[in-house]
Structure 1
Amino acid sequence: MSIRLDNVGIAVRDLEATIAFFTDLGLTVLGRARISGEWADTAVGLDGNTADIAVLQTPDGNGRIEMFQYVHPDAIEAEPVQPNTIGMHRVCFAVDDIDAALEVAARHGCHPLRGVATYDDVYKLTYLRGPSGILVMFAEKLQKAD
């Protein structure tokens, strides 16, 4: 059996604001659609499921995120997850300039949770809260592997 990661899906409060944030970071929109119907109800497990979706891709072509904003049923608001919450909760981007990435994020009102850390002179790392409370991690590699 062959397996590969196709995309990560994230439900968002405001699809347009989320698209703006991620495209400013350099991702591109591959496609947009409104999904609904029996197939969507079956696949997702929600009756009457209708959502507006956008699929975004990283510049290297290897990573994709599917963002979706529910039209029906109503989206469920929850407290933003903390870094130690069990379950999936963050998306990480390898960046070549963490300061430039943080400047882009700041234009969207998104700032590091605490600051930028340096790990063993190998990585500069930070978490920030993006649109809809999404935890986003930036990681800048400082030295090349030997």
Structure 2
Amino acid sequence: MAIKLENVGIAVRDIEAAVAFFTDLGLTVIGRDTVSGEWADTAVGLDGNHAKIAMLQTPDGNGRLELFEYIHPDAIETQDTLPNEIGMHRVAFSVDDIDEALRIAARHDCYPLRGVANYENVYKLSYVRGPSGIIVMLAEDLTQH
């Protein structure tokens, strides 16, 4: 099964300040949107999911960062993470067969938070609770079939 790192997602308090910081570091904004609806609830496993997002890319084109600011539900403040704390928001991977990827995840007792969502017949995606509680997004590009 083919797999590649897609992006890393980070929830932020203020998307404009975060975008300004990362673009100052040299990343480029390659897309912005506001997402909500049933597909977003299903993919993320959170009812009423509504967020502003910005996708940034490294200059070499190989690394992407997705920043998001929750509109609903309210964001939950946490203490700053220490380098040795386990966990993060999520890491995302493109896969060529989401069903196979979910079977592999299940072999490790890792299952979708809610199910598999279809985003505008472009992607099938699902958030899986992975090892150590890490959320892993799996996405199959439907335009490649």
Counterpart in the other structure of 2:59:
59
Q: How does 1:39-54 map to 2 (within 5 A)?
A: 39-54=39-54
SS in 2 for 1:56: strand
* Cα shift at 1:45: 0.5
* Cα shift at 1:86: 1.2
Structure number with the higher strand fraction is 2
Higher Rg: 1
* Cα shift at 1:52: 0.2
The alignment status of 1:19 with 2:14, answered yes or no, reads no
* Cα shift at 1:88: 3.2
- In structure 1, give the amino acid aligned to 2:75: A
SS in 2 for 1:7: strand
CA RMSD of aligned residues (A): 1.0
Question: Following the alignment from structure 1 to structure 2, what is the Cα–Cα distance between the partners of residues 44 and 16?
Answer: 23
Counterpart in the other structure of 1:28:
28
Counterpart in the other structure of 2:141:
none
Stretches of structure 2 that go unaligned for 5 or more consecutive residues are 90-145
TM-score (norm 2): 0.60
The alignment status of 1:8 with 2:8, answered yes or no, reads yes
Question: Following the alignment from structure 2 to structure 1, what is the Cα–Cα distance between the partners of residues 81 and 31?
Answer: 28
Aligned length: 89
Question: Following the alignment from structure 1 to structure 2, what is the Cα–Cα distance between the partners of residues 7 and 87?
Answer: 16
Counterpart in the other structure of 1:140:
none
Distance 1:88 1:46, change over 3 A: closer
TM-score (norm 1): 0.60
Question: Following the alignment from structure 2 to structure 1, what is the Cα–Cα distance between the partners of residues 49 and 88?
Answer: 22
Counterpart in the other structure of 2:73:
73
Q: Percent identity?
A: 74
- In structure 1, give the amino acid aligned to 2:80: P
- In structure 2, give the amino acid aligned to 1:38: E
Stretches of structure 1 that go unaligned for 5 or more consecutive residues are 90-146
Question: Following the alignment from structure 1 to structure 2, what is the Cα–Cα distance between the partners of residues 38 and 83?
Answer: 35
- In structure 2, give the amino acid aligned to 1:9: G
Higher relative contact order (CA 8 A, sep 6+): 2
- In structure 2, give the amino acid aligned to 1:41: D
